[in-house]
Chains A and B, each alone.
Chain A
Amino acid sequence: MSFTASSEQPVPLPHGRRGAELLMLAFALAVVLFAYSAVGLGLTGKLPGLPVDFLVFAAVMLAAHLAVRRFAPYADPLLLPLAVLLNGLGLVMIYRLVQSGRGGNPGYQVTGLPPTAATTQLLYSGVGVVAMVAVLVLISEPRVLQRYTYTLGALGLVLLALPAMLPASHSVVNGAKVWIIFGGFSVEPGEFARLALAVFFAGYLVAKRDALALAGSRVAGIDLPRARDLGPVLAAWAASLLILIFETDIGTSALFFGMFVAMLYIATQRTSWLLIGVTLFLGGSYLTALMFHHVMERFTVWLHPFMGSNPTGIAYQPVQALEGMAFGGLFGTGLGAGQPYHTPLVQSDFIFAAFGEELGLVGVMALLLVFGLLVQRGLRAALAAKDPFSKLLVGGLSFVLALQVFVIVGGVTGLIPLTGITTPFLSQGGSSLVASWILIGVLIRVSNTARKPAPQPIQDEGMTQVVRAA
Chain B
Amino acid sequence: MNRALLRISLACLAMFVLLLLNVNYLQVFRATALAAEPGNIRVFDQQFTYQRGAIIAAGDRKDVTIAESRLIKGTDIYQRYYPQGKVYAPVTGYDTIYSQTGIEAAENGLLAGTSPQLAVHNLTALLTGKQKQGATVELTISPAAQQAAYAALASDGGRPAAAVAINPSTGAILALASYPTFNPNQLATFNGVQLNKVDGQLLNDPSQPLLNRAISQTYPPGSTFKIVTSSAAFSTGLIASTSTPVSAPPVWTLPNGHTLTNYASELCGNGNPPIIQAFWMSCNTAFGKIGMKLTAPVLRQWATKFWMNKPLDIPVPVAQSVYPQGPGWTDPSLTAYSAIGQYNDAVTPLQEAMLAATIANHGTLMRPYLVQQVVGPGLSVISSSQKTVLSHVDTPKVAGEIQAMMYQVTHNPTGTAYGSAGPQVSGGITIDGKTGTSQNGANPNGLDDAVFTCFVPGSGGQPSPIAVGVVVKEGGFGASAAAPIAVKIIQAYLKAHP
Contact = CB atoms under 8 A, between A and B. Distances in A.
A192 to B, nearest CB: 23
Interface string B39-52: 11111011000000
A306 B5 contact: no
A414 B22 contact: yes
A368 B41 contact: no
B205 interface: no
A406 B15 contact: yes
B26 A325 contact: yes
A322 B4 contact: no
Nearest to A392: B1
B9 A365 contact: no
A399 B31 CA distance: 31
A319 B46 CA distance: 18
A360 interface: yes
B19 A415 contact: yes
Contacts of B381: none
B34 A364 contact: no
B27 A323 contact: no
Given A262-B8, A382-B5, A399-B8, A326 B16 contact: no
A362 to B, nearest CB: 9
Contacts of A383: 2, 5-6
B1 A376 contact: no
B22 A329 contact: no
A266 interface: yes
Nearest to A328: B27
Majority secondary structure, B binding face: helix
Contacts of B13: 372
A342 B42 contact: yes
Interface in B357-407: none
Which of B6, B12, B20, B28 counts the most chain A CB atoms within 10 A? B12
A372 to B, nearest CB: 4
A360 B11 contact: no
Nearest to A267: B1
Contact of A326 (B34, B46, B123, B126): B34
A469 B279 CA distance: 109
A369 B23 CA distance: 12
A151 to B, nearest CB: 24
A170 B24 CA distance: 41
B5 A413 contact: no
B73 interface: no
Contacts of B16: 368-369, 371-372, 375, 402, 405-406
A398 B41 contact: no
Majority secondary structure, A binding face: helix
Nearest to B41: A342
A417 interface: no
A330 interface: yes
A410 B19 contact: yes
A382 B1 CA distance: 10
A311 interface: yes
A395 B18 contact: no
A342 B19 CA distance: 23
Interface string A407-429: 00110011100000000000000
Given A379-B12, A402-B12, A365 B1 contact: no
Contacts, number: 133
A375 B26 contact: no
A391 interface: yes
Interface string A269-296: 1000000000000000000000000000
A267 B2 CA distance: 10
A403 B15 contact: yes
Given A330-B27, A361-B28, A368-B23, A323 B41 contact: yes
A201 to B, nearest CB: 14
A81 B450 CA distance: 82
A311 B23 contact: no
Given A326-B35, A356-B27, A415-B22, A339 B8 contact: no
Contacts of A312: 39
A198 B5 CA distance: 16
Contacts of B30: 326
A391 B9 CA distance: 13
B43 A327 contact: yes
A269 B27 contact: no
B258 interface: no
A440 B12 CA distance: 18
Nearest to A362: B27
A329 B6 CA distance: 35
B122 to A, nearest CB: 9
B18 to A, nearest CB: 6
A201 B4 CA distance: 16
A204 interface: no
Interface string A107-120: 00000000000000
Interface of A: 262, 265-269, 306, 311-312, 319-320, 322-331, 338-339, 342, 356, 360-361, 364-365, 368-369, 371-372, 375-376, 379, 382-383, 388, 391-392, 395, 398-399, 402-403, 405-406, 409-410, 413-415
6 interchain residue pairs of minimum CB distance: A326-B34, A402-B12, A406-B15, A326-B31, A361-B27, A327-B42
25 contacts: A266-B1, A267-B1, A322-B26, A323-B40, A323-B43, A326-B35, A327-B42, A327-B43, A328-B27, A338-B42, A342-B42, A361-B27, A364-B27, A368-B20, A368-B23, A379-B9, A383-B5, A388-B1, A391-B5, A399-B11, A403-B15, A405-B16, A410-B22, A415-B19, A415-B22
Given A327-B43, A410-B22, 12 more contacts: A265-B4, A356-B26, A360-B27, A365-B24, A376-B12, A391-B5, A395-B8, A406-B15, A409-B19, A413-B23, A414-B26, A415-B19
